[in-house]
Structure 1
Amino acid sequence: MMQLDHIHISIAAQQLTGFQAGKVVCCYPVSSALNGLGERSGSGCTPRGEHRVRARIGAGQPLGSVYIGRRPTGEVWTPELAAANPQRDWILTRILWLCGNRPGFNRGGQVDSQRRYIYLHGTGDDQPMCEPLSHGCIRLRNEDMLELFDSTPVGCTVQIDAA
C-alpha cells in the first residue's frame, strides 16, 4: 500500500494533495473553516503552517462512524440521524489529529493546533466540499477520508497554506 510522506492543503483551492517521494499520488476536495485562517484557540479558524499527523483514530470502524471526543459513539451517520441532531458538528469515518510543528505559531500557548483538536476527518454526505464551512478542521468526503487514512502514517507532514 502506498504511504504518503507529505500532505499539502490549499485553502484557496479547497484541495488536499498527497505526495510520496515528491510525486502527487492523490487529490481530494476539502472544506476548511468558515471563519477563515488563524491559529488562536477559540477562533474557529483553520491553522496555517507545517503540522504533522500526531494520531490516527478509527481504524476498523465502519464508513460514516460517528466520533465524539475522538471516540466512536457506535452510531453511523445517516441523513435521518443528522436531521434529528442538527446542533452536532459531525466528525465521521476516521480522524487524523494534527500537531503544529512551529512553536509560537501553531504549537504551544494559545496557538496549539493539537490542543485545539484540529483534525482531518470525514463529514456528512449533505455537506458541500470546496466551501469553507468547518469549525477549524479540514473536512473530507467519507470515502476520500478512508483512502487518505489508509495511506497516511503517524508523523506525515501536513502543510496548510492560504494559497
Structure 2
Amino acid sequence: KTVKQLIKQYPTHAKKRVLLVDVSEQRLYVFNRKAKLLKSYQVSTSAYGMSNRSNSNKTPIGAHQIKTKIGKNAKQFTIFKSLVNTGRLSRANSSGKALVTSRVLRLDGLEDSNRNTYRRYIYIHGTNKEKYLGKPKSHGCIRMSNDEVIELFKETAKGSLVYLQE
C-alpha cells in the first residue's frame, strides 16, 4: 500500500505522523499527513521474519497504532523491564541479553489479523545492540538506536499510524 492509501484508510490515526516500517530494507520511514517523507531510520526487526501469530517471535504485519508511550523523561540508555524504568543504564553496545532501552512505543493492531499485537508486547524501542541495526535480529520488536528512538518519541503522538510491511 502507498502512504496516501494508508492515510485515506486510517484518517484518525494519520493526523500528524505516519510511520512505515519496511522489513526488507530494515528501515522506518516517517511521513507527514500529506505523505511527504520527513525522515528515515535504520532499524532491526525480527530474526525470524514476519507473522501475526502469537508466540512466534516474529514482527507483526499490517496497520497498527502507537497505543502507549513509555519513558518520556528517562535518561538515554535507561533499561526498561516489563515496561518499568529500572533506574539502571545500559550502553549502545553491551554484551549479554538484548534490552529495551531509552523509550518504548507500544503497538496495537488495527486489523483483525493483528489485533493480538498489543498482547504480544510488540514495541518500537531503543536497544543495547545498536551494532546490529540494519539486520533482522530482534524477537519481534522494532529496535532503534537510542538517539533516534528518543527523537521519534518526541515527534510521534499516541494513536499515530504505524504500518509494518515486508
Q: What is the rounded CA distance, in whole Å, between the counterparts of 2:130 and 2:149 in structure 1?
A: 15
RMSD (Å) for aligned C-alpha atoms: 1.6
Structure (1/2) with the larger helix percentage = 2
Taking the aligned partners of 1:13 and 1:39, their CA distance within structure 2 comes to: 19
How far off is 1:4 after superposition? 4.4
The count of aligned residue pairs is 151
Structure 1 residue aligned with 2:149? 145
Sequence identity (%): 31
Aligned to 2:22: 10
Residue identity matched to 1:147: E
Runs of 4+ in 1 over 6 A off after TM superposition: none
Using CA pairs under 8 Å that are at least 6 residues apart, name the structure with larger relative contact order, 1 or 2: 1
Q: TM-score, normalization: structure 1?
A: 0.88
CA distance in 1, matches of 2:124, 2:47: 15
Distance 1:79 1:140, change over 3 A: closer
Q: Please state if 1:76 is matched with 2:89.
A: yes
Write the distance in 2 (CA, Å) between the matches of 1:37 and 1:4. Answer: 27
Structure 2 CA distance, aligned partners of 1:35 and 1:150?
Answer: 30
- Runs (5+) with no aligned partner, structure 2: 1-14
Letter in 1 for 2:78: S
Q: Residues 11-160 of structure 1 correspond to what in structure 2 (within 5 A)?
A: 11-21=23-33, 22-78=35-91, 82-83=94-95, 86=96, 88-103=97-112, 105-107=113-115, 112-160=116-164
| Matches of 1:43 and 1:11, distance apart in 2 | 16
Query: CA separation in 1, counterparts of 2:90 and 2:16?
Result: 28
Shift of 1:125: 5.0
TM-score (norm 2): 0.86
**What do residues 47-72 of structure 1 show as CA deviations (whole Å, max 9, x unaligned)?**
00000000000000000000000001
